[in-house]
Amino acid sequence: MGSRHPRLIAGRYEVQPLDDGGMGTVWQGYDRVLDRLVAVKQIRSDRHHPAELRRELAERFRREARITAKIEHPGVPAVYDAAIDRGTDAVEQLYLVMQLVRGVTVADLLAEHGPFPVPWAVSIAAQVCAVLSHAHAIPVVHRDLKPSNVMVDEDGNVKVLDFGVAAVLRTDVTQLTGTGQMIGSRDYMSPEQFHGVGVSPRSDLYALGCLLHEMLAGKRLFDGANDAALQHVHDRPTPLRGLRADVPEAIERLVLDLLEKAPEDRPVSAQEVFDRLSPFLPAPGAPVAARTGEPGADPGATPDPTRPYRHPLAPRRLVAPAGVPRPTPSAPSRVVAQRQALPTALAQELDVAEERAQQLVDSDRLSQAVMVLDAALTSADAEGVLDHPRVLELRNTHAAVLFLGGDVRRALTAFEELTDAFAWRAGPDDPRVLECQKQAAYCHAELGDTDAALAGFRAVQEHVRRQHDDRSRDALELRTQIGILLLAANRLREADQILRPLHDDLVATRGPEHPEAREIRDLLTRIRLTGGSR
């Protein structure tokens, strides 16, 4: 989304310029109306198809998008919109606009870690079953379940992607491609899909068997030495315990049942599969069971799909949000970073980013402004110059935009890091240090951390008092915030002790009818009515 010339879809969604890729390409997009990032999936309509076939595809697209939107399950990204847009070639293009999911796919986890611990594989498969049971009840059949369509988010929750896309493309009706080529992932397709005789919920269960086998074996069900279609139709799968001795017999039996060639020989439903997986799910409160080198061995490094079962409905842990890394170089290297000239290309990138971010902020497109600044600061971090004065200016802008956009927790981290950076450069009384401390206190207040907010405002107040009197603009602002926080915390006497002299000073400097004086007078009346005044 850093491009200055994104393509606009349906007059609302911005995506990067599109290429001539195949069907089902996904982009990160931006919703102009709601100022949020979205996922935009293009369902390409082949310009060589007859017009009536394109119309049929568009109609099916609308119908399937509506059906898919009815899958109200946290394991399915929400469908926000089904957009039809006429491209530059006058051919209608079809787009699904969906919730943007942040996580890692099972395909990527397998590539990085190899075979999963049994609890991991079982937890992922069980969560997929929960999703399929909701979808199949509508009924909606996924048709293209595979490792790259299953994602684990940072809390360990599994998301099944691309519901409805295969239904629009009709993987069981090959002639719609115009070439007779079958659409779908051949390594995970059931025999009936290869035969072209239609799909059912049990076709998804076959694909789930392929997925579970791959998660435990670390390789696909069939190695591709022969034609995938022939192998899925005719070859018997290798039992898992012949590949990995620690797989429980019941899990091996379940996978073999899922991989039966005839649909009627497979489990009846996703619910049955879930019930057979349940004895192997981690119990609530169970510790992480991961061996060194396996996913989960380093808590927090990789999303843990057992967490929803070990800690059901637990709140998310508050951790430092992802963003620009906190600079931790030694003092000599930081001195060099401050004195050296920025690389020309980076200096130009920062200038462009700042200008573009300001334009976006002026247009109230704060999410995009943050993305632009994130990209520029990542480049600065790669050059090791996060503490360079020019970069510090951009980091300050970044923190302010985060706060304006409501991402208060990231803003807090950014302001706290800037407080340290400016203090190291110019001393603790530098105005930029005090401003960042004050903004961090505002963040604490927004997050409901009253004690931390009070401590922050009072620390700044001490610095201000050494340089100005209690009637300066900065001092009056700080006294106001401290009094309001004390009142909000129901510390009425303390609030009264702050607000009463504050009111007198506001009347003396700004007059009795000044809005701020009236505001404090109202607060004092409230304290008096509740019996908190001295």
Q: How far is CA 29 from the centre of its chain?
A: 13
As a whole number of angstroms, the distance between CA 450 and CA 155 comes to: 27
Q: Please, what is the angle between helix 431-446 and helix 450-467, to 10°?
A: 160
Distance from C-alpha of 375 to C-alpha of 378, rounded to nearest angstrom: 5
The alpha carbon of residue 58 and the mean position of all alpha carbons in its chain are separated, in whole angstroms, by 30
| Helix, strand, coil % in the chain, rounded to nearest 5 | 55, 10, 40
At residue 40, the 3 state secondary structure works out as strand
Torsion of CA 412, 417, 420, 424, to 10 degrees: -150
For residue 318, the tally of other CB atoms under 10 A from its CB is 8
What letter would DSSP give residue 319?
Answer: -
146 and 193 Cβ atoms separated by less than 8 Å: no
Amino acid letter for position 248: P
Q: What phi and psi, each to the nearest 5 degrees, are found at residue 92? A: -65, 130
Active site residues per annotation: 144
402 membership: H or E segment, kind and range: helix 389-404
Cβ neighbors of 121 (< 8 A, separation 6 or more) are 212, 215, 216
124, 215 Cβ separation under 8 angstroms: yes
Q: What is d(CA 212, CA 114) in angstroms, rounded to the nearest whole number?
A: 13
| Dist CA 145 CA 189 (whole Å) | 8
Using alpha carbons only, what angle is made at residue 38 by residues 35 and 41, rounded to the nearest 5 degrees? 145
Which helix (H) or strand (E) segment is 82 a member of?
strand 79-86
Residues contacting residue 192 through CB under 8 Å, at least 6 positions apart: 198, 199, 200, 203, 263
- By DSSP bridging, strand 150-153 and strand 158-160 are antiparallel
